[in-house]
Amino acid sequence: MKIAVCPGSFDPITLGHLDIIQRASLMFDKVIVAVLVNPGKNPSFTAEERLNMIKRAVADIPNVEAECFDGLLAEYVRLRKAHTIVKGLRAVTDFEYEFQMALINRKLNPEADTVFLTTSSQHMYLSSSMVKSIARFGGDISDFVPECICREISDRLSRQRNDE
Ligand code: PNS
């Protein structure tokens, strides 16, 4: 069985992420979306909240699962018996960081390879941080995140701003 891992912080999952996950689901028998810790980021949603949103967003894709893991991606991939890490690339600016991560992950787990899917052009400018900025100021994010989680993100972030 060909298993791929789609890792990320998913804070929150966007339509850009979902596009990559959907396309990966056509290439592999099973895709596991893994919510991992990015030490360089301070998330707005807890890991459980992010996982819950992902589960709702991928509910209609039968060969996609999601879970959280607090550790190294290379270790997680080994644990899940996967041999491929799938990442999306939006622009050349993503490349240097992703290239370094791919090399490190292959050093840590030589049995796994990273493959990059090019973003669909309509999602090129999209990022979780952009979505959060728009939602905090009460903007419409319905073109950027899955419909089933749109309200939760807007409510939560606009409330957070009012509490500040
Ligand atoms: O969506 P992101 O924030 O770009 O995803 C980055 C993520 C979470 C995939 C990356 O930070 C990661 O793999 N974290 C787990 C720890 C790890 O394996 N680090 C790489 C070796 S230093």
| Model confidence pLDDT, tens digit, residues 68-90 | 999 999 999 999 999 999 999 99
Give the residue-averaged pLDDT of 113-119: 96
The whole-number pLDDT of residue 94 equals 86
- The answer, yes or no, to whether any atom of ligand 1 lies below 6 A from the CB of 81, is no
| Bridge partners for 69 per DSSP | none
Find out whether 63 and 96 touch, Cβ atoms under 8 Å. no
Instruction: Round to whole Å and give the CA distance between 162 and 164.
Output: 6
pLDDT over threshold 70, residue 17? yes
> Best substitution site from 73, 100, 119 to test ligand 1's pocket, by max atoms within 8 Å of Cβ?
73
Alpha-carbon distance 66 to 34, whole Å?
Answer: 6
Q: Are 123 and 15 in contact (CB under 8 A)?
A: yes
pLDDT band at 164 (very low <50, low <70, confident <90, very high): low
Q: Is the CB of 7 under 6 A from ligand 1?
A: yes
Query: Would you say residue 162 has pLDDT above 90?
Result: no
Active site residues: 17, 41, 90, 128
The rounded Å distance from CA 36 to ligand 1 centre is 6
Strand partners, 33: 6, 66
CB 75 within 8 A of CB 105: no
